[in-house]
Structure 1
Amino acid sequence: MANSYLVEPDVGFINEVSRLGGADVKKCYQCATCAVACPISPDTKPFPRKEMIATSWGLKDRLIGNGDVWLCHNCGDCSTLCPRGAQPGDVLAAVRAATVIEYATPKAVAKMVSDPKKLPILLAIPAAIFLIVGLLLKMVGVDWLNFAPTGDHLWQADYIGNYLVDIIMIPTFFGAVAVFALGLKRFLTDMHANAIKEGKTNKDKIDPAGFIQALIKTVPTIMKHQKFNECTDNRDRSTAHMMVLFSFIGLFIVTNCFFAAEWIFHIEGPYRQINPVKWLGNISGIALVIGGILLLKNRLAKKDQISSYWDWYLVGLVLALGATGMLTEMLRLGGMYGLSAIVYFLHLIFVWSLFAYTPFSKLAHIVYRTTAMAYQEYSDRK
């Protein structure tokens, strides 16, 4: 006899998914074209048909913690072939956004990040932090914030000291890591419970060593964007995604190199243009801008694809980070030191936002999707 299941629709969840870009879910009549069309869906319990059914019924418990939601790369094959225009790819993207909000701590911040009306407040927070901390330190004789420095060849650290930046950015970064850790602990537990319940794995519990091995095995697939390249309708998206991903990796390496130079070896900037680390930074910065432009182009070109604020926030942040970073350097090299400092201040606001709001934004998919793909590998699901 089949197991009974009491359907308890969560209307609030349906409305949340609709707000985040999945409003077309009610057009679905469960024909399973999407599950057949998807080139990366597994043979056992394929997606996204079952997720479309669960979403239309508001079955939040079957979606939050469902790893299949993250295996979808929204390549668009299913949405293109859907006879009703239900946009399964966009619906699953909206469910992913709702999942990020659900696992975020505090949840109120995640709701703010998904609300365009709250963007001015979110950007004002880092601006206020830098000014308040800088002025408080100035009152006790620590001059790391200077509105009118003197000299012939100034650079941004003469206005906003690197040590001021570091004492703010480092706690912010590790705070974001802690938020991710709390969310991932719950997510992994729920994902395993969901897999057992739906018969997607025969493993009773997660072996940490085995999971780490699966994670290591999954990393090359992610770095090469192999799943993107298995898609047919929207394969060119992989170029923009890879440019942005490797740009962030390059800039992370550059940041850590210059952090070590400053704090360990006490070598202060600005650094010469022939410095190989500077070369990596410039190349990564240019690639980030180009990647951001390609993301924007791809979004605008897809007239039939729903783009919510959740999507535009990430595209805007990528472009803002790249543009302000490169413009800061160009203005300084051009001798416009004051203007360079203003743009640098804007750049710091965006960098802080990148660190602080990533666990609450679409960019969190880097962590959640990686975890879901690693679990897929670990579970031996076919």
Structure 2
Amino acid sequence: MSNTVKVQPDLKFVKELQAVGGDSLKKCYQCATCSVVCPLSPADSPYPRKEMVWAQWGLKDRLVNDMDIWLCHNCGTCSDLCPRGAKPGDLLSALRNMAYRNLAPLPIIGKWMSSSSGLLPLAVIPAIIYALIWIFQASRLGSFLPTFEWDHAAHAWKAVQDGAVVFGGLFVGDYFIDPIFLLVFLFMLWGFYAGVRNMLKAFDAQPKTFIVGRKSEPSFLCCLIDTVQYEILQHTQFQDCTDEESDELDVKRASGHRWLMFAFIALMVVTGIVAAGHWGGWFFRQIGVEGLGGILSAIGHTPMPWWSPVKLLAYVGAGLGIYGLMALTKRRVNLDQSKQSSSWYDWYLLTLIWTIFLTGLCAFVFRLLGVALLAYPIYYVHLIGVFMLLAYLPWSKLGHLVYRTVALSYAKKIGRIPMGADK
């Protein structure tokens, strides 16, 4: 005797889904072409066909807790080959966009992130913070565009006439930059912690996959290490999404992601060296180890000469970042909108990262040229961009760096997808 299942569509959810990128889902007539052509979709309960059905029926609970929306890497093959133009790839992107809004706490940030109308409040917060710092420093130093020289006795920058443009003199790292970004970093970790906790809780309520002949379930840590090794560092799933028939834009997308990732790694290393040198030097000087403290302080002292190895690594990171951004932007601009479209989330993230890289480079150039009138305002915009990237990361598309990594690791743990070495 069959069981009766009561389906209660959530029409409001369907409208929200259409608003964030799933506007063509009603064109789907369940031919299953999308699941057949997807190079990543598992044979058992493949995506995105079932997600198209659930979305048409308005089954919110199933979709928002669906692990498979994170396994898709948005190559667009399913949308390209869909005979009805239903854009199943856009649906999965829209579902991830909704997840960014709702996984982490403070849903007001997620709401702001979801449309262009929220850009102003997102930018106003850091703009006010750094404007107040600038005004305070200008009143103390006697100029909005001060120049400096290094005071060796005080281990600090001193404002002088006809000195050098020094960002750390106006926006002092010890009192303004480092404490603010430490709080931003902790806020970001809190957002991701809550978001990942909610994600795993939802996954645990879903059916598990049981593999005949599997000796034992690997630990989550082993699966996480495997995901970092294969899916992140080697970009194996991006490679699976491309083959000899892939067009130039798909190849550029995979390489663009990879080079942009290496750019962020390089710049994170540079930031880590500067912070460790500066604060490590301060710590050792405080405890009386002047020699080691002086060495570390010299390593982390900014601004660094252009030939410094740390600065050279920063150049490499900037170059890789610009190349990756060009590849990703070219693909996004040249997408066939009838098959795959771009959402506000896509353009917000690309524009923000472009802003960070270009303002960083321009601020560096104008600092070297000694043009304070341009260097300081551009650096001010750079600080706002970095703040927005880090503080709102759990609610932005870039949050997939964490959420997708966790989802892939969990999928490996329960056997939904194989470990990297078993592919």
Shift of 1:200: 3.1
User: 2:226 matched to which residue of 1?
Assistant: 217
> Which residue of structure 2 aligns with residue 65 of structure 1?
65
* TM-score of the superposed pair, with normalisation by structure 2: 0.83
**Given the alignment, which residue of 278, 295, 314 partners 2:311?**
278
Kindly report which structure 2 residues correspond to 1:295-306, keeping only aligned pairs within 5 A, or say none: 295-304=328-337, 305-306=340-341
- Aligned residue identity for 2:240: E
Is 1:363 matched with 2:373?
Answer: no
Aligned residues of 1:65 and 1:99 also touching (Cα < 8 A)? no
Map 1:182-201 to 2 at 5 A. 182-194=194-206, 196=207, 199-201=208-210
- Between stretches 75-84 and 10-19, larger displacement belongs to 10-19
Choose the corresponding residue for 1:378, options 407, 413, 422: 413
Letter in 2 for 1:381: R
The answer (yes or no) to whether the contact 1:201–1:380 under 8 Å persists in 2 is yes
Mapped to 2, the partners of 1:168 and 1:144 lie a distance apart of 24
Q: Which residue of 156, 169, 186 corresponds with 1:174?
A: 186
| Equivalent residue number for residue 162 of structure 1 | 173
Name stretches of at least 5 consecutive residues in structure 1 with no aligned partner.
Answer: none
- Tell me how far apart the structure 1 counterparts of residues 393 and 217 of structure 2 sit (CA, whole Å): 25
Cα shift readout 1:187-211 (whole Å, capped 9, x = no counterpart): 01101212x2xx5358xxxx99811
**In the alignment, residue 156 of structure 1 is paired with which amino acid?**
F
> What is the Cα deviation at residue 134 of structure 1?
5.8
- Checking the alignment, whether the CA contact within 8 Å between 1:145 and 1:159 is kept in structure 2 is no
Residue 118 and residue 294 in structure 1: after superposition, are their counterparts in 2 closer, same or farther (change >3 A)? same
Whole-angstrom CA distance in 2 between matches of 1:208 and 1:290: 41
Stretch of structure 1 that moved more, 128-137 or 172-181: 128-137
Q: Mark the runs of 5 or more structure 2 residues left unpaired by the alignment.
A: 148-159, 283-296, 418-423
The 4+ residue runs of structure 1 with deviation greater than 4 A are 133-139, 143-147
Computing the radius of gyration from Cα coordinates, the structure with the larger value is: 2
Would you say how many aligned residue pairs link Structure 1 and Structure 2? 374
* Cα distance in structure 1, aligned partners of 2:143 and 2:200: 43
Aligned pair partner of 1:229 in 233, 236, 239: 239
Structure 2 residue aligned with 1:148: 146
Q: Deviations over 1:307-336 (max 9, x none)?
A: 011110011011111101111111111221
Equivalences for 1:227-376 in 2 at 5 Å?
227-232=237-242, 233=246, 234-266=250-282, 267=297, 268-304=301-337, 305-376=340-411
Distance in 2 of aligned mates of 1:43 and 1:303: 28
SS at match of 2:35: helix
Q: In the alignment, residue 90 of structure 1 is paired with which amino acid?
A: D
Look up the equivalent residue of 1:375 and give its one-letter code.
Answer: Y
1:238 deviation in Å?
0.6
Cα RMSD (Å) of the superposition?
2.3
The TM-score, its normalising length taken from structure 1, stands at 0.92
What is the percentage of aligned positions where both structures have the same residue? 37
State the one-letter code of the partner of 1:225: H
